[in-house]
C-alpha cells in the first residue's frame, strides 16, 4: 500500500496534488510519502513480535536525512555501509548505539570514525579487515564490537547484480573459513565478538533461500558457542522483495513467522536491515513530457527525466509502472509507447513499450516505486542537474534536497594555471 492515489481525477501524494508541487518547483522531482514510510516500518516491526528485535533501516536504499529522520522518530536504527551514510544517520537522529556498520571495503579511516562514534556493531567481511580493525581499535584505545558476516553460499534467486550470498560473490567470509576467522578474532586485541551477520541479497521473492541461510547460521551459532564464543547478536540482513509489476513477494508477517520458527530459540537479539521494503513504494518520480515523437515502428514519449535520475531500468532491466498524473477518463483508448529520456544513450528508457492513454507535450507522468535506489544512484551524466527531493506529510510538503544546478556543478571545477591564459 502507498499514499499516491487519484483524487477527483488527479494524483495526490497523501493530500498534496502533484500538479501543485510541479508548478512550484518544476520537474523532474522525487516525491516521498511520510505516511507510507511510517506504515511500512510499522508493519515490518509488528511482524517481528515475539523476537528481541531491532529494525535497522538500510540507509543505502534512500539516504535523504529527512527520510532517515522520519524512521528514527519511530525508533528505527540504521544499517550503513560508509562513513558518509553513518554521518547521515547521526545527523538524522539515529543514536550511534543503534547503527550497524556493514560493507566489504571499509577503510581504516572509516573504521576509526565508526569506533569513535560508538556504533552498535561492525560487521566484518574478511580476515584482513579484522586485522585492520584490531590495529585501529588498539591505536585508539577502544574496543570494537564485531560480528563476522558469513557467506552461506545460498542462491537468493534474485537478479545477479543484487545477489550477495553465493560463494562467487564478494561479500562475507567463505563458509569454510568462518570458524578460523572467529578463532583469530578471539585472540586479537581491541576486538570483542558479539554476533554473526548474514545477508544473501535484495529483492528476494521466496522465503526458501532465507530458510536455508538462516538454518545454516543456527548450526554455526551452536558450533561457535561450543568453541567458547559469546554470540549475543544475530544480524539477518534485509532484502525482502516488493511488487514492481506482478511479483507476489512474501509478506512481512510470513517472513517474521519463518524467522521465529528458524532462529527463535537461539536467545539472541536479532537485527534486520530492510531498505527497499520500507522506501520503495514510498516514492515516485514525477516527470513532464517534452514531446511525443512518432517513429516508424513505435511512438516515443520523451520526458524531462532520464537514466541519470533513475538508473534501475537501464542497470537491472527493472520495471516501474508509469501512469499519468491526471487520470485518464473511463473508456479512453490506450496505445503502446516507449517512455524515454533525453540522454544520448539508447538505454535511456523507462519502459518499452507501455500501454498509455494519449499523451501530449506538457503532460505529467508519475514513475512509481521509485523511493528506493532512485535518487541515491543518480548522477550528473550529460551535465544534467541532480533533481529535487520532496517529502509530503498530510497536506504539507517540503523540499528536502534542492535541485543541484549547472552553476553548482561548474563552481566545483577549475582550470589549471597553464590553461587560464589560453
3-state DSSP assignment of residue 357: strand
Q: What's the average model confidence in pLDDT over 155-176?
A: 62
| pLDDT tens for each residue of 286-344 | 999 999 999 888 899 999 999 999 999 999 889 999 999 999 988 888 989 999 999 99
Query: Does residue 31 carry a catalytic annotation?
Result: no
Beta-bridge mates of residue 204:
240
Q: The pTM is what?
A: 0.94
pLDDT at position 162 is: 45
pLDDT at position 137 is: 98
Per-residue pLDDT band for 420 (boundaries 50, 70, 90) equals confident
Which set of grid coordinates corresponds to residue 41? 516500518
Give the C-alpha separation, 21 to 31, whole Å.
Answer: 9
Name the DSSP class of 315: H
Beta-bridge mates of residue 161:
none
Give the C-alpha separation, 393 to 14, whole Å.
Answer: 7
Q: Is the pLDDT of residue 168 over 70?
A: no
Per-residue pLDDT band for 368 (boundaries 50, 70, 90) equals very high
Label residue 138 exposed, middle or buried (CB < 10 Å: 0-12, 13-18, 19+).
Answer: middle
Catalytic residue among 31, 54, 268, 344: 344
Q: Is the pLDDT of residue 103 over 90?
A: yes
| pLDDT tens for each residue of 4-53 | 999 999 999 999 999 999 999 999 999 999 999 999 999 999 999 999 99
Q: What are phi and psi of 333, to 5 degrees?
A: -75, 140
Which residues have C-beta within 8 Å of that of residue 179, sequence separation ≥ 6? 223, 224, 227
Give the C-alpha separation, 76 to 272, whole Å.
Answer: 10
| pLDDT tens for each residue of 46-92 | 999 999 999 999 999 999 999 999 999 999 999 999 999 999 999 99
Q: Where are the beta strands (DSSP E) in 113-215?
A: 121-124, 144-151, 173-174, 191-197
Amino acid at each position: 500500500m502507498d499514499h499516491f492515489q487519484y483524487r477527483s481525477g488527479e494524483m495526490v501524494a497523501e493530500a498534496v496534488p502533484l500538479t501543485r508541487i510541479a508548478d512550484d518547483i518544476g520537474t523532474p522531482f522525487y516525491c516521498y510519502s511520510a505516511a507510507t514510510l511510517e506504515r511500512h516500518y510499522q508493519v515490518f516491526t509488528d511482524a517481528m513480535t515475539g523476537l528481541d528485535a531491532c529494525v535497522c533501516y538500510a540507509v543505502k536504499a534512500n539516504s535523504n536525512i529527512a527520510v532517515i529522520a522520519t524512521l528514527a522518530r519511530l525508533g528505527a536504527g540504521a544499517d550503513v555501509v560508509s562513513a558518509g551514510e553513518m554521518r547521515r544517520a547521526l545527523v538524522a537522529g539515529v543514536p550511534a548505539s543503534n547503527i550497524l556498520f556493514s560493507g566489504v571495503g571499509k577503510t581504516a579511516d572509516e573504521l576509526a570514525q565508526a569506533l569513535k562514534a560508538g556504533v552498535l556493531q561492525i560487521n566484518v567481511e574478511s580476515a584482513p579487515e579484522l586485522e585492520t580493525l584490531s590495529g585501529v581499535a588498539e591505536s585508539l584505545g577502544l574496543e570494537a564490537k564485531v560480528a563476522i558476516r558469513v557467506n552461506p553460499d545460498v542462491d537468493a534467486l534474485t537478479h545477479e547484480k543484487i545477489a550477495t550470498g553465493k560463494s562467487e560473490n564478494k561479500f562475507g567470509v567463505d563458509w569454510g573459513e568462518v570458524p578460523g576467522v572467529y578463532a583469530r578474532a578471539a585472540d586479537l586485541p581491541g576486538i570483542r565478538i558479539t554476533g554473526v551477520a548474514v545477508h544473501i541479497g535484495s529483492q528476494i521473492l521466496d522465503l526458501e533461500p532465507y530458510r536455508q541461510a538462516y538454518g545454516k547460521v543456527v548450526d554455526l551459532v551452536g558450533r561457535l558457542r561450543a568453541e567458547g564464543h559469546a554470540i549475543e547478536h544475530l544480524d539477518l540482513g534485509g532484502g525482502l522483495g516488493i511488487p514492481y509489476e506482478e511479483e507476489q513477494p512474501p509478506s512481512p508477517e510470513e517472513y517474521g513467522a519463518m524467522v521465529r520458527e528458524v532462529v527463535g530459540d537461539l536467545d539472541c537479539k536479532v537485527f534486520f536491515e530492510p531498505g527497499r521494503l520500507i522506501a520503495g513504494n514510498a516514492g515516485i518520480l514525477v516527470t513532464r513530457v517534452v514531446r511525443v515523437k512518432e517513429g516508424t515502428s513505435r511512438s516515443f514519449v520523451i520526458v524531462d527525466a532520464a537514466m541519470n535520475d533513475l538508473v534501475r531500468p537501464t542497470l537491472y532491466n527493472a520495471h516501474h509502472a508509469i501512469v499519468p498524473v491526471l487520470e485518464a477518463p473511463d473508456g479512453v483508448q490506450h496505445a503502446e509507447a516507449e517512455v524515454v529520456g533525453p540522454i544520448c544513450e539508447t538505454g535511456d528508457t523507462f519502459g518499452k513499450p507501455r500501454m498509455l492513454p494519449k499523451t501530449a507535450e506538457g503532460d505529467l507522468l508519475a514513475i512509481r516505486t521509485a523511493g528506493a535506489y532512485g535518487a541515491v544512484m543518480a548522477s550528473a551524466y550529460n551535465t544534467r542537474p541532480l533533481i529535487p527531493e520532496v517529502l509530503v506529510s498530510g497536506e504539507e510538503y517540503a523540499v528536502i534536497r534542492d535541485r543541484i544546478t549547472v552553476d553548482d556543478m561548474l563552481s566545483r571545477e577549475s582550470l589549471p594555471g597553464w590553461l587560464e591564459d589560453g
